[in-house]
Copies of this chain bind each other. A is one copy, B any other.
Amino acid sequence: MAQQQYAQDSATIKKIYDNALTSFESYENLRYLTKQIGARLSGSPQAAAAVEWSRQLMEKMDLDTVYLQEVMVPHWVRGEKEIGRVTNSRLLGNVDMHIVALGGSVGTGKQGLSAEVVEVKSFEELEKLGKKKVKGKIVFFNRPFDNTLIQTGSAYGGAVDQRGGGPVAAAKLGAVGVLVRSMTNDYQTIAHTGSTRYQDDVEKIPAAAISTVDAEQLSSLLKEDSELKFYMRMTSETLPDVLSYNVIGEIKGSEKPDEIVVVGGHLDSWDLGEGAHDDGTGCMQSVEVLRLFNELGIKPKRTVRAVLFMNEENGLRGGTKYAELAKARGEKHVAAIESDAGGFTPRGFGLDGSKEQLQAVLAWKPLLAPYGLHEIGPGYGGADIGPLKGQGSVALIGFKPDSQRYFDYHHTEIDTFEQVNRREMQLGAASIASLVYLLTEHGLDGGGAKASK
């Protein structure tokens, strides 16, 4: 019996990969999302277009239900192209540098701001400098990625505090602006945006990311001349919140319709580039899971729900709203899988749940390893599904594609459709669909109600 089940699971998974690898639909959907709609920052007309387009896309798919969840989202706009410039280098005179406003940043005013620069690698170093040396200056956070880490996400995790917390820490000491080294392993002249945070009781100062190549040059110039001045001009601003939506499609479970397996990505993106790897691929893979189930006639025992979350990048309002509503409705989630690490070759899954749940998923490894899914273990689920944590025994599962190239493109103008390889994206979709199939077929009952405590 167990052997028979194994053979059936194995055959179903093979069908899933075969279909995914020979289908072009999802890749063409991604092309539409990235090329016809493009960047889709929360609150933008393009985000609204993405909502309506993906709703229509799922409506055409003969699902059991397609619906929207209302959610109010922040509406930040970048404004005019930023200017970043060293203005008094003894060696070089004026030196233009590539900067982009961090998401949520206030602007500099149209006249821009000009100030001396103090470079730090850490918050401790900043604290030691103290108000005297920081007041009136631009603080330049220049701690690089640790390139010796094999998983680039770990290097990101070790540097991104500068982007999130830099402006508040600097403003507390009287700084007038912030430059943060771009969050990437690469040496590029491209600056990487991303969210920053303010506190209500601390002055909001303008904050920009600077490309790694420019960060290195600025650091060199500062070594020669500590009185170097930097001019930055950004017209970014935050407008009133806008009504937007999570977009949801589902196939009802044939035996346990009240038990839900979520698969999702986030529909919003930054305003630079096309939000291809972040997170067009995750969204299109989630829709692809539904297409594969339908196309292959797989009737899931439990409900499969694809959720395209709104506003992961600068607010997480969609993920938060989804969890709120799930709780209010008393929904039972078996698991939630998020694909938000790019459309690269699959390596495995990370699971945030109980030991028993991990054991249950590890028991499926022989079914998944032939497809290159070797890295199955404890890990991070994902931002959008994070707010579900603790609801019943839901297991949060992060899809882990190969991470090497992700931060070359992440949050930049080069996160475009051209950077996505169809086979890599589709292997990802098939990997996720296979895990969803196993979860809907077998559940995670080993887990128990205390799973995520």
Identify the A interface with B (CB < 8 A): 17-18, 21-22, 147-148, 150, 152, 185-186, 345, 347, 369-372, 374-375, 402, 404-405, 408, 421-424, 427
In the complex, what residues of B have CB within 8 A of residue A424's CB? 404-405
Number of chain copies forming the complex: 2
A21 touches B374 (CB 8 A): no
A150 to B427, CA, bound (A): 8
Inter-chain contact A150/B370, CB cutoff 8 Å: yes
What are 16 A-to-B residue pairs whose CB atoms are below 8 Å? A17-B148, A17-B150, A18-B148, A21-B148, A22-B147, A22-B148, A147-B423, A150-B370, A150-B427, A345-B402, A372-B375, A374-B374, A402-B402, A405-B421, A405-B424, A408-B421
- Closest Cβ of chain B to A128, distance in Å, is 27
Residues of B within 8 A of A402 (CB): 345, 402
- A423 & B185 in contact (Cβ 8 Å cutoff): yes
- Residues from chain B with Cβ under 8 Å of A427 in the complex: 150, 404
A347 to B371, CA, bound (A): 12
Contact of A372 among B150, B369, B405 (CB under 8 A): B150
| A349–chain B nearest beta-carbon distance, Å | 14
Complex interface: chain B residues within 8 A of A372 (CB): 150, 347, 375
Q: Write the chain B residue with the least CB distance to A408.
A: B421
Q: Which residues of B contact A186 (CB under 8 A)?
A: 422
What's the Cα separation between A29 and B9 when bound, in Å? Answer: 48
Q: How far is the CB of A185 from chain B (nearest CB, A)?
A: 6
Min Cβ gap A292→B in Å is 14
List, in ascending order, chain B residues with CB within 8 A of A21's CB. Answer: 147-148
Q: A21-B147, A22-B148, A408-B421 are in contact. List 11 more A-B contacts (CB 8 A).
A: A17-B148, A21-B148, A150-B370, A150-B371, A150-B372, A152-B423, A345-B404, A347-B372, A374-B375, A404-B427, A405-B423
